[in-house]
């Protein structure tokens, strides 16, 4: 029975890199010791015979000592094991060298090796040679391990942010739907003729939220249309006692933003500036796009309230803060101002390339 051995491209590349490493080691030491002995051929043959010692010491360190001691933070065990490994390897290499000297026929003419013997039998030079190879290989191993850990941590962090962002977005839709259904319920109680139009507007908003907002980025004009639909819904409910001014400046075409960034601010403004105001109410909205930046401002009047009775944004505004921190970590600015007679919010986004998390 014939078995086909399949080597993956990544494993093949790894083998090739290991072979390249040892070719470089052989070439370097052949040149280094060859200059001392004056015979590069003899030096190369000697290194080939002692290469298994280098291989054993290196891979024993990489796949046993480092994982068992260093990566487990047993530094004492790592140092002791490394010292014994290098000393043992140097001893084995010295024994092989002695065999070569005792049995000169292994390398041919003995006279060609005389200048080489004194250097070959130098135990300190053996120690340094093996230590350099093991040290370099260990550094490469540790750098690779560090890279893999960093890469894994980045992927885990990215997945964590993606899951958290998905959770925050899922909280927005039920929150909005709950409030809008309350509005529709109030209109049906009054038997208002606007009820069918409310249902139509609500359908358009939900269609956008269900099918468009699943994307990482949406067109800014669609976000603007969402705000306008919501304003229309609220205007039907509050009638003439509500004054709304919505100004749009700049070119909003070909501008993409994360979905549902402005909606919580608009909803919050209606919640605190209109619903609790039994007299006249007003809301002003400004959206300006210029110089790779977007600025959205919204302000509303407030009914009289007791001093220190702070208006809180609730779940919608809190979710917005978290989403901004995830999507535009250092490229956004959100300012909330709450005075005695006015509540305002300003959101500025950097629209430069690669500023938002993908």
pLDDT tens-place string over residues 170-217: 555 565 667 667 767 776 777 667 677 778 887 888 788 777 777 788
Evaluate whether residue 176 is within a structural domain. Answer: no
Give 264-298 pLDDT, tens digit per residue: 898 888 877 776 665 678 899 999 999 889 999 99
In this structure, are 79 and 198 located in the same domain? no
Evaluate whether residue 179 is within a structural domain. Answer: no
In this structure, are 288 and 197 located in the same domain? yes
Domain-ending residue, one of 153, 168, 183: 153
Which tokens belong to 149? Answer: 């850990």
In this structure, are 95 and 209 located in the same domain? no
Evaluate whether residue 50 is within a structural domain. Answer: yes
Evaluate whether residue 2 is within a structural domain. Answer: no
In this structure, are 148 and 245 located in the same domain? no
Q: Which residues pair with 301 in a beta bridge?
A: 342
Length of the chain: 358
pLDDT value at position 328? 87
Q: Are 108 and 116 in contact (CB under 8 A)?
A: no
In this structure, are 196 and 144 located in the same domain? no
In this structure, are 274 and 339 located in the same domain? yes
Angle of helix 220-238 versus helix 123-189 axis, rounded to 10: 30
Instruction: State the alpha helices, DSSP H only, in the chain.
Output: 9-37, 40-60, 75-102, 114-120, 123-189, 195-211, 220-238, 263-273, 314-327
Closest CA to 294 of 252, 322, 326, 266: 252
Instruction: Residue 340: count other Cβ atoms within 10 Å of its Cβ.
Output: 8
Which tokens belong to 61? Answer: 């360190």
Q: Which residue has the tokens 């001014």?
A: 245
pLDDT value at position 356? 47
In this structure, are 148 and 198 located in the same domain? no
pLDDT value at position 169? 58
Evaluate whether residue 161 is within a structural domain. Answer: no
pLDDT value at position 261? 86
pLDDT value at position 329? 82
Which tokens belong to 281? Answer: 């109410």
Domain-ending residue, one of 128, 153, 178: 153
Q: Model's pTM, two decimal places? A: 0.54
Phi, psi (deg, nearest 5) at residue 80: -65, -45
Evaluate whether residue 169 is within a structural domain. Answer: no
CA–CA distance, 233 with 244 (Å, rounded to integer): 12
Query: Splitting the chain (358 residues) into consecutive groups of 10 residues, what average pLDDT does each group show?
Result: 60 88 90 80 83 92 91 89 90 79 53 46 75 91 88 70 58 61 72 74 79 82 90 78 90 88 86 69 92 91 58 65 83 88 90 57
Q: Are 218 and 257 in contact (CB under 8 A)?
A: yes
CA–CA distance, 67 with 78 (Å, rounded to integer): 10
In this structure, are 85 and 223 located in the same domain? no
In Å, what is the CA distance from 220 to each residue of 174, 229, 289? 22, 14, 10
By residue range, what is the domain housing residue 221? 192-303+312-350
In this structure, are 67 and 202 located in the same domain? no
Using a CB cutoff of 8 Å and minimum separation of 24, what contacts does 236-243 make? 236/187, 236/192, 236/194, 236/197, 236/198, 237/183, 237/186, 237/187, 238/274, 238/281, 241/277, 241/279, 241/280, 241/281, 242/274, 242/280, 242/281, 242/282, 242/283, 243/280, 243/281, 243/282, 243/283
In this structure, are 334 and 249 located in the same domain? yes
Evaluate whether residue 294 is within a structural domain. Answer: yes
Q: What angle do CA 251, 257, 260 make, to 5 degrees?
A: 115
Number of domains in the chain: 2
In this structure, are 141 and 255 located in the same domain? no
Domain-ending residue, one of 153, 175, 202: 153
Which tokens belong to 180? Answer: 């809008």
Domain of 293, CATH number, reads: 3.30.565.10
In this structure, are 243 and 345 located in the same domain? yes
Evaluate whether residue 162 is within a structural domain. Answer: no
């Amino acid at each position: 029975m014939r078995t086909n051995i399949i080597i993956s491209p990544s494993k093949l590349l790894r083998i090739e890199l290991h072979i390249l490493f040892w070719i470089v080691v052989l070439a370097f030491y052949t040149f280094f010791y060859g200059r001392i002995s004056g015979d590069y051929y003899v030096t190369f043959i000697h290194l080939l015979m002692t290469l298994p010692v280098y291989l054993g010491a290196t891979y024993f360190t990489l796949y046993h000592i480092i994982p068992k001691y260093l990566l487990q933070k047993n530094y004492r065990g790592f140092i002791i094991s490394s010292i014994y490994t290098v000393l043992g390897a140097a001893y084995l290499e010295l024994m092989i060298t002695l065999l070569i000297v005792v049995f000169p026929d292994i390398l041919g003419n003995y006279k060609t090796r005389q200048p080489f013997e004194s250097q070959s039998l130098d135990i300190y030079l053996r120690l340094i040679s093996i230590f350099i190879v093991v040290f370099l290989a260990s550094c490469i191993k540790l750098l690779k391990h560090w890279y893999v850990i960093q890469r894994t941590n980045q992927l885990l962090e990215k997945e964590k942010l993606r899951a958290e962002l998905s959770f925050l977005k899922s909280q927005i839709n039920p929150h909005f739907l709950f409030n809008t259904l309350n509005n529709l319920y109030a209109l049906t109680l009054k038997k208002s003729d606007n009820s069918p139009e409310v249902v139509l507007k609500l359908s358009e908003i939900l269609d956008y939220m269900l099918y468009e907002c699943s994307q990482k980025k949406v067109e800014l004009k669609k976000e603007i249309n969402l705000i306008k639909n919501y304003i229309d819904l609220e205007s039907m409910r509050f009638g003439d006692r509500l004054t709304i001014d919505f100004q749009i400046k700049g070119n909003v075409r070909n501008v993409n933003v994360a979905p549902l960034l402005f909606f919580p601010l608009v909803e919050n403004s209606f919640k605190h500036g209109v619903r609790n105001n039994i007299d006249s109410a007003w809301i002003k909205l400004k959206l300006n796009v210029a110089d790779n930046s977007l600025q959205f401002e919204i302000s509303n009047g407030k009914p009289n309230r007791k001093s220190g009775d702070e208006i809180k944004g609730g779940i919608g505004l809190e979710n917005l803060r978290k989403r901004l921190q995830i999507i535009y970590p250092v490229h956004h600015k959100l300012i909330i101002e709450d005075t005695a007679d006015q509540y305002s919010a300003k959101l500025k986004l950097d629209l430069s390339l690669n500023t938002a998390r993908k």
